Amino acid sequence: MNAAIRQKFRATFSREPEFVARAPGRIEFMGNHTDYNGGTVLGAAIDRGVWVALARREDGVRELATDQGRPRVTARANRLEKFSGPSSWANYPLGVLAALAGSGRRVPAGFDFLAMSDLPAGAGLSSSAAIELAAALVFAAATDERVERETLVKLARHAENNFVGVPCGLLDQGVSAFGKKEHLVFIDCRGPRFGTVPLPSGVNFWIFNTHTKHALVDGLYAARHRECLTAAQALGVEWLADVSPGQFALVQKNIGAVAAKRARHVVDEIVRVGSATAGLRAGDLAAVGRLLTASHRSSQNFFENSTAELDFLVDTLEPAEHVFGARLTGGGFGGAVMAMTSGSFSESGAREIAAAYERKFAASPDVLRLQTADGAELIRT
């Protein structure tokens, strides 16, 4: 991709880029909607992501282009505006500019900017966090700003929360920033505190992308966020992470039925993150697989952010040979299912799952075999 983005930049802007950065997409391994509830999460940076290239210009014009079939966007340094419709993709890097400036850091006045991605759109692999982090790296490099990795995560999250308008937690940006090959990223979101957990040998990840709707800005994600805040307030705590399963069992009748379901998912999911971390360290992949599937059932029944398509894939994968477990990955409401398998699960096995899905829904899911990867980085030429 390094050579490809440089070639595309030359073709688009008729000059060489000065700075190039990459940031990986991520698999949400465990911890669905726990991040903004003060909980813990596990994720894996993957070997697909977003690359960005930038060259400075002196006229205060900001030209932003992408290879994703979206329109080229022109903005100006003296007016940081938010775009809508097909041009809204530019809000992610522009939001990072706003976050950098708002924190007192320098930003490049004018520039040519190109983003390229090999992440499938709408699969819940967090292309938004990847473009935010890669953009932050080239913007900082263009002004000789030194920004620590923890700060990059906060800036990217600020951009998405306050400029784009998605009330996400730290999972996406944190995993993309702190990814490490053959490891999962563990985040205690209240600190925040970042660490890694080694993956036992023989673990494989498969993604089954349904191409069903996965639009977080349309309000479904925000609605769940509000419901969790309502549940925490009704329980008299700042974060749902402050409530143990035992405590919740004693007080769940004191809150509304919807709030109770949302809270139960989050409280139990945080416990599953801890159990999965211990299972990975012990090499007990069968136990971890059961936790993955239990996580999906909780999303399906209590958080209600699954879909018929996602449920069918999990139902079909669960009994399949060489599959440890499966669950939706990402915000939900469509998107993709992740399966953790042994190395014996093959392309033919994946095709059988895809064929069953096609018979059911008259549509074929994309199937991706993914590897873990290192986190976001500035590419040195």
Q: Between β-strands 336-341 and 110-117, what pairing exists: parallel, antiparallel or unpaired?
A: unpaired
Tokens of 306: 């699954």
Q: Is the dihedral of CA 344, 349, 354, 357 positive or negative?
A: negative
SS3 165: coil
Q: Between β-strands 366-370 and 204-209, what pairing exists: parallel, antiparallel or unpaired?
A: antiparallel
- Other CB atoms within 10 Å distance of the CB of residue 58: 7
- Other CB atoms within 10 Å distance of the CB of residue 55: 20
Distance separating alpha carbons of residues 35 and 169, to the nearest angstrom: 5
Would residue 35 show up in a list of annotated catalytic residues for this protein? Answer: no
Q: Per the residue annotation, which of 47, 172, 218, 374 is the catalytic one?
A: 172
Instruction: Say if residue 277 is exposed, middle or buried (CB neighbours under 10 Å; 0-12, 13-18, 19+).
Output: buried
φ, ψ dihedrals at 262, nearest 5°: -60, -45
- Other CB atoms within 10 Å distance of the CB of residue 219: 10
SS3 197: strand
Amino acid at 231: A
Q: What torsion do the CA atoms of 228, 234, 238, 240 make, to the nearest 10 degrees?
A: -50
With beta carbons less than 8 A apart as the criterion, state whether 183 and 372 touch: yes
Distance separating alpha carbons of residues 337 and 308, to the nearest angstrom: 12
What are the CA-CA distances from residue 356 to residues 229, 296, 319, 359, 365 (Å)?
A: 39, 20, 13, 5, 10
Of 182, 56, 161, 4, nearest in space to 98 by CA? 161
Amino acid at 201: S
Distance separating alpha carbons of residues 219 and 206, to the nearest angstrom: 28
φ, ψ dihedrals at 71, nearest 5°: -70, 150
Compute CA 115 distance to the chain's CA centroid, rounded to the nearest angstrom.
17
Q: Which residues are catalytic?
A: 172
